[in-house]
């Protein structure tokens, strides 16, 4: 009837560690995309919760019997869908320690180490990625860990909203005259943030893109001018370094110039691509970010730190505090009153927060700067090889040139064929990849960044894609693209 | 230069498990509130990230040397501050498995088991707490895990906003005429949600409370009528079952009647108290919640599931989807298109989400319904005893009657004395408790709900509080309260 004893925790804890180790060893052999139908998992579970305690062994049995078949294996080296979410072994150890300590980092006082290690790691990231110095904690700016880039973008939007209205939005609410901008290829989280913040979907201008699917700065300038002439208040631009669909890189210097001219907040979303800045030879993608008001990327994508761990930087922390700070009596304490400490609850949506800096610290120390850069280089190299195969293929073609570790390609037989192809590949289960649309083109995305992925996996995937396409082509009458 | 091997992960994983076991055994002997000064942790860390890999042993050494002294020990049985955040041993195992699987639950397809176990656990919680049937997944409503009650309340507010404006807020933005209501004792997250959603601080009416610090329904009715007469649009009421300061319970039936009459969304925030509904004899606090549009409580507070794990229920999932759903091409998939599945990304702020149902499932099975209820009863019993000691004391008095596991008390010497008392107690480090203000009364909060807390800890705490007050009194001239 009670909690596990220390000895039980040790025993079961060792079992769980061994289970995870074996899972990660064998995950490669499992169908990457779960092959279950809706309802299958629930059908295998009892309707009602147990009245009395059950043995730990029964839970582990059900984990294998019920849960595992319902898992889409993000930790498989054959996972090429979306962008990766890497749960590297070291980051799992960090997550374990974080759960064991079980602290709340809402205030400095509620665990100084949780806040200070986070601040320190954010400064280390400025070093590692050669980010602008103005994002360091000893300046007016600073960094914070968020759960996801969605939250980071929302916080940036809220800070920009408060600044643009001189605080009036927080006082009397949004007024419906603020306009935000992103490219038509920007992540859905920008639109979602505009809905949440009361800006409104119609007040987000989805600016057209060039042939490389990056934002047209001329179109942005035109849109801003048009809105100003209409009596509206442009206030926020979200530029992408690496869009979700095709890793397109918006022209930050030109966009920043427009923002400067019209007094707009520039937020740069490098959720996936940011990690590449570990490699000096890839840093050109960040050209212009020294002019950004805020910047975000996800160590939980390509930097081998398990979800959730988003890094969010601002060059003016006061703007963020103005948007998000509230101090009720029950949270007052001497450290906060002294003004000497950071209370990260004022840098995010929620009050509570986990000790996420621990896993980031452990991963950085496990690999070192050069080790992390080398892992990223290997993935980019694999993507470069895959791109070459597509380039040399008669049946397939590139839709846009490879950027970093993402190859956007398609079979030459056109949209319907490619849709069937990706469906058949994923039903087969040996690899998992997802699609997007670039213009009108149904596009397959080969996203290479999973920590266990090696050359052999890319080679096997390419063989499988070719064979599956040949099979499908032999069953299908020719169609024009 | 690379990731841990399986064997290394096993070895270090076992070490980490043993470290956690020992930490939880010994945490009782550590100062509960970290005794460090601002900057101490950072001063002990190298300025720059390492260039090369460091051994795992070095990280564990620094964990003991640098991090542990900077921890405020939420898992100590002597932690009586705020409300508890329980990281029970079983939930730690669940968190480990979740990190090991490392899946994203944003869509059903990205791990069916992640979504279906979550839906199933939310239905189990309806059973366990005897919540209204309309919150079950087979109805128009349903439940979802959020990171915190702050996020749940924000989502409720957004759903209410969309419903009140027939979707116009999402389209063209908030218009500054919507009015929300909570009591003056409501959690700061309500105000924060109003800021974020573009409602505005001035459009949140903080309704006065009765002598028991619960919302006055008469005052609510008056405020709603006044706002309607002023041409404003009342749309949302947040009622508390268990306020943060004093565990006051707002009169839900009367509030619900007002909401019904004027067409307002009723959100019930039972973040801490909800878990008490495991015990049939304590369910009267939930009287009237069958009339709530949404309801939230935190298994990560008193139900022994480690942070983050908030449970959020709505009786109309479509209202939530209307507020939060966006479907870009790269997230389209057959399962979503079929309409047969839940995609929880549409029930929350962020896109990404962890597999948090796993730890909830494991904790429920570890204890069973009766086991969990018994643990809650023990804490309530301890609080009842503590209340009796205060009641019988000459030096101390209750500020309000105990509710559940929270005792609000003070020394009779008045505010300045109590402020000094709590400061001295926390500096001593053997216990940690925090304060609030009830009316003008500086109030000490004895919050009893940590999983390791037993009768001996309450007895020792009471002895220490008495002795410290006596010492302080002997040093301080008498003041009037």
- pLDDT tens digits along B4-14: 999 999 999 99
Pairing verdict, β A441-447 and A434-438: antiparallel
Measured distance CA(A418)–CA(A462) in Å, rounded: 15
Right CATH for B103-355 from 3.40.640.10, 3.30.365.10, 3.40.50.150, 3.40.50.1980: 3.40.640.10
Write down the pLDDT at residue B479.
56
- Look at A109 and B1 and tell me if their CB atoms are within 8 Å: no
Question: Does residue A125 have a pLDDT over 80?
Answer: yes
- Look at B99 and A92 and tell me if their CB atoms are within 8 Å: yes
Mutate one of A82, A179, A298, A350 to test the B interface: name it (highest B CB count within 10 A).
A350
- Look at B95 and A91 and tell me if their CB atoms are within 8 Å: no
Question: Does residue A4 have a pLDDT over 80?
Answer: yes
Among A121, A103, A145, residue whose Cα is nearest residue A348: A145
Please name every residue paired with A407 in a beta bridge, in sequence order, or none if there are none. Answer: A446
Question: What percent of chain A is modeled with pLDDT above 70?
Answer: 99
Please name every residue paired with B295 in a beta bridge, in sequence order, or none if there are none. Answer: B268, B313
Write down the pLDDT at residue B1.
54
Question: Does residue A132 have a pLDDT over 80?
Answer: yes
Q: Closest-CA residue in chain B for A374?
A: B1
Q: Which of A69, A86, A308 sits opposite B354 (nearest CB)?
A: A308
- A17 and chain B in contact, CB less than 8 A: yes
Query: Domain B6-82, what fold?
Result: dopa decarboxylase, N-terminal domain (1.20.1340)
Model pLDDT for residues B269-288, shown as the tens digit of each residue = 999 999 999 999 999 999 99
- Mean per-residue pLDDT, B83-94: 97
Model pLDDT for residues B333-365, shown as the tens digit of each residue = 888 888 899 999 999 999 999 999 999 999 999
Model pLDDT for residues A267-287, shown as the tens digit of each residue = 999 999 999 999 999 999 999
Q: Closest-CA residue in chain A for B120?
A: A42
- Number of neighbouring beta carbons within 10 Å of residue B290: 16
Can you state the percent helix, strand and coil of chain A, rounding each to 5? 50, 15, 35
Task: Sort A338 into a burial class: Cβ within 10 Å, 0-12 / 13-18 / 19+.
Answer: exposed
Model pLDDT for residues B210-263, shown as the tens digit of each residue = 999 999 999 999 999 999 999 999 999 999 999 999 999 999 999 999 999 999
A479 confidence band (pLDDT: 50, 70, 90) = low
- Look at A99 and B100 and tell me if their CB atoms are within 8 Å: no
Model pLDDT for residues A394-428, shown as the tens digit of each residue = 999 999 999 999 999 999 999 999 999 999 999 99
CATH 3.30.70.270 correct for B370-475: no
Model pLDDT for residues B40-65, shown as the tens digit of each residue = 999 999 999 999 999 999 999 999 99
- Look at A197 and B201 and tell me if their CB atoms are within 8 Å: no
Write down the pLDDT at residue A199.
95
Q: Closest-CA residue in chain A for B94?
A: A16
Measured distance CA(B342)–CA(B106) in Å, rounded: 10
Cis check: omega of the bond before B230, within 30 degrees of 0: no
Question: What percent of chain B is modeled with pLDDT above 70?
Answer: 99
B174 confidence band (pLDDT: 50, 70, 90) = confident
Cis check: omega of the bond before B63, within 30 degrees of 0: no
Token pair listed for B227: 């706002």
B480 confidence band (pLDDT: 50, 70, 90) = low
Mutate one of A101, A320, A364 to test the B interface: name it (highest B CB count within 10 A).
A101
Contacts of A445 in chain B (CB under 8 A): 330
- Mean per-residue pLDDT, A37-47: 97
CA angle B132, B104, A443 (to 5 degrees): 125
- Look at A13 and B108 and tell me if their CB atoms are within 8 Å: no
**Do residues B289 and B259 make contact, with C-beta atoms less than 8 angstroms apart?**
no
3-state secondary structure of A435: strand
CATH architecture of A6-86: Up-down Bundle (1.20)
Write down the pLDDT at residue B173.
87
Write down the pLDDT at residue B338.
86
Question: Does residue A478 have a pLDDT over 70?
Answer: no
- Mean per-residue pLDDT, A66-90: 98
CATH architecture of A369-475: Alpha-Beta Complex (3.90)
- Look at B176 and A175 and tell me if their CB atoms are within 8 Å: yes
- B43 and chain A in contact, CB less than 8 A: no
The pairs formed by B384-391 with CB atoms below 8 angstroms and a separation of 24 or more are B385/B455, B385/B458, B386/B446, B386/B448, B386/B458, B386/B462, B389/B462
pTM score of the predicted model: 0.97
- Mean per-residue pLDDT, A181-201: 96
- B306 and chain A in contact, CB less than 8 A: yes
Write down the pLDDT at residue A1.
55
Map tokens 């801490």 to a residue: B272
Q: What is the mean pLDDT of chain B?
A: 96
- A276 and chain B in contact, CB less than 8 A: no
Q: What is the mean pLDDT of chain A?
A: 96
- Look at A20 and B13 and tell me if their CB atoms are within 8 Å: yes
- Mean per-residue pLDDT, A368-383: 98
- A49 and chain B in contact, CB less than 8 A: yes
| ipTM score | 0.97
- B369 and chain A in contact, CB less than 8 A: yes
Mutate one of A5, A28, A49 to test the B interface: name it (highest B CB count within 10 A).
A49
Question: Which residues of chain B from 85 to 104 reach within 8 Å of chain A, CB to CB?
Answer: 85-93, 95-97, 99-104
Residue A300 main-chain phi, psi, to 5 deg? -80, 0
Q: How far apart are the first and last CA of chain A?
A: 65
Map tokens 């925030």 to a residue: B269
Write down the pLDDT at residue A330.
82
Q: Which of A111, A147, A331 sits opposite B147 (nearest CB)?
A: A147
Query: How distant is the Cα of B214 from the closest Cα of chain A, in angstroms?
Result: 17
The residue ranges of every structural domain in chain A are: 6-86, 103-354, 369-475
Query: Domain A103-354, what fold?
Result: 3.40.640
């Amino acid at each position: 009837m009670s909690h596990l004893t220390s000895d039980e925790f040790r025993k079961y804890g060792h079992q769980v560690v061994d289970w995870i180790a074996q899972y990660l060893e064998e995950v490669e052999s499992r169908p990457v995309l779960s092959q279950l139908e809706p309802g299958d998992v629930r059908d295998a579970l009892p309707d009602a919760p147990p009245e009395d305690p059950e043995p730990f062994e029964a839970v582990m049995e059900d984990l294998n019997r019920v849960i595992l078949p319902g898992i889409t294996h993000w930790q498989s080296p054959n996972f090429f869908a979306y962008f990766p979410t890497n749960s590297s072994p070291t980051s799992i150890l960090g997550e374990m320690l974080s759960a064991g300590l079980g602290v709340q980092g809402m205030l400095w006082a509620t665990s100084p180490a949780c806040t200070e290690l986070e601040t320190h790691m954010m400064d280390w990231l400025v070093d590692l990625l050669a980010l602008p110095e103005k994002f360091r904690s000893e300046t007016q700016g600073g960094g914070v860990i968020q759960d996801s880039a969605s939250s980071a973008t929302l916080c940036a939007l809220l800070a920009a909203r408060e600044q643009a209205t001189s605080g009036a939005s927080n006082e009397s609410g949004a007024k419906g005259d603020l306009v935000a901008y992103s490219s038509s290829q920007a992540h859905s989280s920008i639109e979602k943030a505009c809905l949440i913040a009361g800006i409104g979907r119609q007040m987000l201008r989805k600016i057209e893109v060039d042939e490389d699917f990056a934002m047209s700065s001329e179109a942005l300038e035109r849109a801003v001018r048009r809105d100003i002439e209409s009596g509206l208040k442009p206030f926020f631009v979200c530029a992408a370094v690496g869009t979700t669909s095709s890793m397109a890189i918006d022209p930050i210097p030109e966009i920043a110039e427009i923002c400067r001219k019209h007094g707009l907040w520039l937020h740069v979303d490098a959720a996936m691509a940011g990690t590449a800045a570990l490699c000096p030879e890839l840093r050109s993608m960040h050209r212009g970010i020294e002019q950004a008001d805020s910047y975000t990327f996800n160590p939980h994508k390509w930097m081998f730190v398990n979800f959730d761990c988003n890094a969010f930087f601002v060059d003016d922390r006061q703007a963020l505090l103005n948007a998000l700070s509230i101090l009720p009596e029950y949270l007052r304490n001497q450290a906060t009153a002294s003004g000497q400490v950071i209370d990260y609850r004022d840098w995010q949506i929620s009050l509570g927060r986990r000790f996420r800096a621990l896993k980031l610290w452990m991963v950085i120390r496990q690999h070192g700067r050069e080790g992390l850069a080398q892992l990223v280089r290997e993935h980019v190299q694999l993507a470069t090889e895959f791109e070459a195969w597509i380039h040399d293929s008669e049946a397939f073609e590139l839709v846009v040139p490879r950027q970093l570790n993402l190859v956007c390609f398609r079979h030459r037989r056109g949209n319907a064929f490619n849709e069937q192809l990706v469906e058949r590949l994923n039903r087969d289960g040996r690899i998992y990849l997802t699609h997007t649309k670039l213009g009108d083109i149904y596009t397959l995305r080969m996203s290479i960044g999973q920590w266990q992925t090696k050359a052999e996996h890319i080679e096997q995937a390419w063989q499988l894609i070719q064979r599956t396409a040949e099979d499908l082509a032999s069953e299908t009458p020719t169609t024009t693209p």
